Amino acid sequence: MSTRAFSSMPGPRVWAVGALCHAVADALEARFNPVTVAGEISGFSRASSGHCYFSLKDDTGQLRSAMFRRAASLLDFTPRDGDQVEVRGRLAVYEPRGDLQLIVESLRRAGQGALFEQFLQRKAKLEAEGLFDVQRKRELPVMPRAIGLVTSLGAAALHDVVTALRRRAPHIPVVLAPAAVQGAGAPGELVQALRALYALGRTDGALETPVDVILLVRGGGSIEDLWAFNDETLARTIVQSPVPVVSGVGHETDFTIADFCADLRAPTPTAAAELVSATRELWLGALDLIGQRLDDALGHRIDQLSQRLDLAAGRLGRPSSMVGRQQMRLAHHAQRLRYGMRARLERAVRAQSELAVALPAALERDSARRADRLDRVESRLRLLDPALVLQRGYAWLTDPQGRAITQAAALRPGDRVVARLADGAAALTVDAAATPSRKARSAPTPRVRPTQGE
């Protein structure tokens, strides 16, 4: 067979390399795209342009993938080697090298679809109720008296927070309310721990010093690990806090509903501790500055008073002339004082002399008046003397006990009485008695007889 005959035989189509790559890309576009792929991230890197490059692999294959800056900016976490993910994108051929690659348009952790949808729904509901309202959020205290801390006793976040607070502000006490941060019972324990810290500010609290700010922290993890912080009851409990709450849950790219409800979100637990504790060096520097300002103010005041003193000294002029005038006034007042004392002494002496002359006569007159008055009283007393009455024939009757008898009705036959006369007393016995009245003045009067033997 001749060469010419061989060249005229029909054969396969000969493709240009670029044309074949383009044709394969068109076939992939028509056959597969869009496509969703699940696998493990390997060799992840982020270029300075913001584009991300990695391989998506499993036990049987590997696929180069690229995620451009626009899609990468929508990620809510930072992908890492070993992460199991689900990606949605389109297959393409990188024609300069002829490599098959997956252009990723969205990326999420594997198995997070249902949880993420639930997270979005709950977030929208609580946001509509105003739990995320910026107007509700409070400023952090500049110098908290005590810091409340809610986290797990076994969490690395506890060590990070305590280390940061000891380094920056060892003088601030920390009140730990331990709670589980992962698992089915974690939401309830977190709520209980927060309410325990809320109660410290009441009169029946266990501490004399209530906490002024609360840190709610835990380390990073998957959406399943952080799901306790998406609990609705926990969100409402955070909003009810009487003091500001700082949320430091997960890493910088991790977001939970607790972050939106808290007064402030910190990217990490350590950052949360730093937000509520200014360094000791900062306060010492502030004290030095205040001390310097006080020194400056005191020096300025002293300068002002010195100027006023100089001005007053200038107005006084020569002090010797003023001293002379004051000495003259002092001598004048001293002379008046001497004359005044002498005049008062002379008046006192004259008054004493006059009193010495008048006193004997006054005493004599007073004695005469008193003697005359005493005589009159003595005469009156003599007239009232019962002995004078008895001398006129009257008798004074008493019972044996010496009590006076003034009424006949008080006597009964047989009563013994004593009759006191002018020259002595006689014992008598009542024979009969009658009660006198105005209508029967002639009624018989009591008759008494001498008692035998007297």
Cβ partners under 8 Å of residue 163, min gap 6: 270
> Mapping DSSP to helix (H, G, I), strand (E, B) and coil, where does residue 218 land?
strand
- pLDDT higher for 272 or 424? 272
Neighbours of 232 (CB within 10 A): 13
pLDDT of residue 37: 86
Same domain, 97 and 48: yes
Contact 56, 65 (CB under 8 A): yes
Token code pair at residue 106: 């969205």
**301 and 265 within one domain:** no
The predicted-structure confidence for 261-306, as pLDDT tens digits, reads as follows: 999 999 899 999 888 887 666 667 777 788 788 878 887 888 788 7
Domain final residue pick, 110, 131, 163: 110
Nearest CA to 444 out of 185, 435, 300 is that of 435
The domain spanning residue 27 has which CATH number? 2.40.50.140
Q: What pLDDT band is residue 445 in, cutting at 50, 70 and 90?
A: low
Higher pLDDT, residue 349 or 149: 149
Domain end call among 110, 140, 174: 110
Give the span between the Cα atoms of 397 and 117, in whole angstroms. Answer: 128
* Total length of the chain: 454
Is residue 376 situated within a structural domain? no
Verify that 296 and 248 share a domain, yes or no: no
Q: State the pLDDT at residue 434.
A: 55
Are 73 and 106 contained in the same domain? yes
In a domain, 4, yes or no: no
| Same domain flag for 249 and 396 | no
Q: How many domains does the chain have?
A: 4
Tell me the pLDDT band of 216, cut-offs 50, 70 and 90.
very high
- pTM here? 0.45
Q: Are 155 and 180 in contact (CB under 8 A)?
A: no
Q: Are residues 84 and 121 in the same domain?
A: no
Same domain, 79 and 26: yes
CATH number at residue 150: 3.40.50.2300
In a domain, 401, yes or no: yes
Q: Which helix (H) or strand (E) holds 64?
A: strand 62-67
Q: Check whether 3 has a pLDDT greater than 70.
A: no
Last residue of a domain, one of 278, 294, 325: 278
Percent of the chain with pLDDT over 70: 84
- Interval 325-337: pLDDT, tens: 777 888 887 788 8
More confident residue, 46 or 361: 46
Residues 60 and 168 in one domain: no
Q: What does the pLDDT read at residue 205?
A: 44
Asked if the structure places residue 87 within a domain, the reply is: yes
Question: Is residue 447 pLDDT above 60, yes or no?
Answer: no
Peptide bond into 244 cis (omega under 30): no
- Asked if residue 266 and residue 147 are part of one domain, the reply reads yes
87-110 pLDDT tens trace: 888 887 776 777 788 888 888 877
Domain holding 285, by residue range, is 279-311
How many Cα neighbours within 13 Å face the side chain of 278? Answer: 12
* Mode of pairing for the β-strands spanning 147-151 and 213-218: parallel
Under the banding of pLDDT at 50, 70 and 90, the label for residue 11 is: low
Is the pLDDT score of 204 beyond 80?
no
What's the pLDDT at 8? 52
Alpha-carbon radius of gyration of the chain: 61
Per the model's pLDDT, the better-predicted residue between 418 and 323 turns out to be: 418
How many Cβ atoms are within 10 Å of 207's Cβ, its own excluded? 14
